[in-house]
Chain A
Amino acid sequence: MSLGGNARSGGLRDGEPMASAGLRIAVASGKGGTGKTTVAANLAATVVLDGLRAQLLDADVEEPNCHLFLRPVIVESTPVEVLIPEVDVARCTLCGRCSEVCEYKAIVVLPTTVLVYNELCHSCGACALLCPEQAITEVGRATGVIERGAVEGDAIEQRAVERGAVGKLAFVQGRLNVGEAKPVPTVRAVKGAVAGEVDVSIVDCSPGTSCPVVEAVRDSDLVLLVTEPTPFGLNDLRLAVDMTRELGLPFAVVLNRAGVGDNRVQRYCEQEGVPILLEIADDRRVAEAYSRGELAIEAVPELRARFRGLWDAVVTSVGATASLVQRSAMQASPTSEER
């Protein structure tokens, strides 16, 4: 798996201004349980129903949930390996250099042997590179898995096809193996798994603001921060805003369960000049549909137009190329039977 590769660097084709991963939209939040998965899965389904080619990348590898709502058929499963040192005891002179250069205390030289603590290793390669006896080789150790598939034969795609659209939803998710501490390599693998030519990639992130989230939102054209109108929602939104600012990424807010608390999030967004692209009203029907693993846009049909509005707002705010906007509008407008 390449570490620094930018998936958007794919070659341009004639008349095709967008690169293969398309627009990259990350869905994140400081606080957990605010509705990231709801926003990611419903937005993906909405754009596909409108004829776009999309991929959903579930980068919440500790607890990936998008599959529960999109029910993809997984066709390929690949382990995600990290490199760990393996010491050739025949060559090792117990000189202690490896342990000296390891900043993570992951390799320890004892009087008669060398111990490697796999879970502390960051796979930096220092021990192998600096071993004077070349007694260390790096070997792969699986810490997670990525699964690829498509939401085929599913209601979403059938409906898109019935309406003459070519929409298609590719699906990738990562799963960290239980007991593993470091999710970042699996997040990175999910982000690198671009499923062919798509118009938009939607990345569902884990909650919080630290390393797995940073890896998941990196290189996004827009980060949607999902929050709720409560003290916890506001506190954690501020932290998420700090993170996206620190990374220099454009961001906007989706306010979920609007009406459940007070107006503090709206006031904050107004003061900070942060646009709120969608407010989803607190609605027991949405919560119950969620509990059953159903998409909100199917359980509450009027939400379909709201998610289409969110997509339009996303496209406007990133200033996407005219062709994509046109395409979205062209295929969305003639069929609005659900309104």
Chain B
Amino acid sequence: MKELVVISGKGGTGKTSLVAAFARLAGRSALADCDVDAADLHLVVQAAQREEHEFSGGKVARVVEARCTGCDRCREVCRFAAVSPDPYRIDPVRCEGCGLCVRLCLAEAIAFETVVNGAWYVADTPFGPLVHARLRPAEENSGKLVTIVRNEARRVATENGLDLVIVDGSPGIGCPVIASLAGASLALVVTEPTLSGKHDLGRVLDLTHHFRLPVAVCVNKHDLNPALAETIEREALTAGARFVSRVRYDATFTTAQIAGASVVDATHGLQMVAAAGRGDDGESRPAAGAADDVRRLWRSLSRELDDLTVGEAVR
């Protein structure tokens, strides 16, 4: 089974819009939305929820007021400043669930309880099953939930005889991103021709290099700053990217999103409401523009994934 992970470093570069398009172009695959803080993929792949499961990231300590003697030991030992006195309370948001206060409380007045802090879902889409999740706001352990989403996506792929999982990652380089990369076949990093995009791409490529993961780079909205786009592409290739690909700026991305579809659906007879004709130049680009770029990108990715399989077989 092959697993393509789409990440970006910088947020808002178009990961989810591209994954929705890839889902359609792949025909049938399993989809995993690993942006568990802010999952959006289900909004653009006509998802129909089939299963819901609770997620527990761990335990949280709670003072049982009736037994508390106010000795202050819990507050002394807590490294996370989660305990406030008079009456003694533990802030469930600050508590990291280490259990030290539970073990050291002389009055045995602290309960240690498993908490539900999220959920994960399996949905059906016209392009294959989708696994997505929602971490409750202000919760931690996003990495653990990302791992569950990926494992479940692989499971439903196997059950459905699918040999490809497409993973929509989260922005940044921290815990959920690291959890979405381990053991993947290929990472596509989506960036944009801005100084921020360039800066963040550099850090993401350091990360994929760190995990020795094959990587390709897409410069989305490349015509926003063509000179910078070229610089970014050169740097990406120097850093070891298998290939670089461009997608032009196109209002169709937004109209497709509003229609709950992807940019490649826009050219398949889906009636797009007119955002066309807006913009400073008064020009609307032909709907096929970015869709063509995305198709080209998908062909390159498919080839790369096929080659990787051959490589793995040889090894």
Q: Which A residues are closer than 8 A to B by beta carbons?
A: 3-4, 30-34, 37, 62-63, 65, 68, 101, 103-104, 122-126, 129-130, 176, 178-183, 206-214, 230-232, 235-236, 239-240, 242-243, 246-247, 259-262, 283-285, 287-288, 290-293
Contacts and interface: CB of A to CB of B under 8 A. Distances in A.
A182 B178 CA distance: 10
Which secondary structure characterizes the binding site on chain A? loop
Contacts of B203: 62-63, 178
A34 B12 contact: yes
B37 A231 contact: no
Contacts of B233: none
Contacts of B207: 178-179
A301 to B, nearest CB: 17
Given A32-B8, A181-B179, A209-B37, 4 more contacts: A32-B12, A179-B210, A212-B174, A291-B225
A123 B80 CA distance: 9
Contacts of B289: none
Contacts of B178: 179, 181
A34 B38 CA distance: 13
Q: How large is the interface on B (under 10, 10 to 19, 20 to 34, 35 or more residues)?
A: 35 or more
B138 interface: yes
7 contacts: A103-B99, A122-B98, A176-B173, A181-B143, A210-B140, A231-B44, A232-B16
Contacts of A176: 173-174
Contacts, number: 199
Contacts of B52: none
B199 A65 contact: yes
A103 B58 contact: yes
B173 A178 contact: yes
Contacts of A208: 37-38, 142, 170-172
Interface stretch (B189-197, B236-244, B304-312): B189-197
Top 8 nearest A-B pairs (CB, nearest first) are: A32-B11, A33-B12, A4-B81, A124-B98, A208-B37, A243-B137, A62-B172, A293-B195
Contacts of B280: 283-285
A314 B178 CA distance: 37
B100 A210 contact: no
A207 B37 CA distance: 9
B143 A101 contact: no
A292 B231 CA distance: 13
A211 B10 contact: no
Interface in B214-239: 224-225, 228
Contact of A261 (B197, B206, B258): B258
B171 A32 contact: yes
A235 B175 contact: no
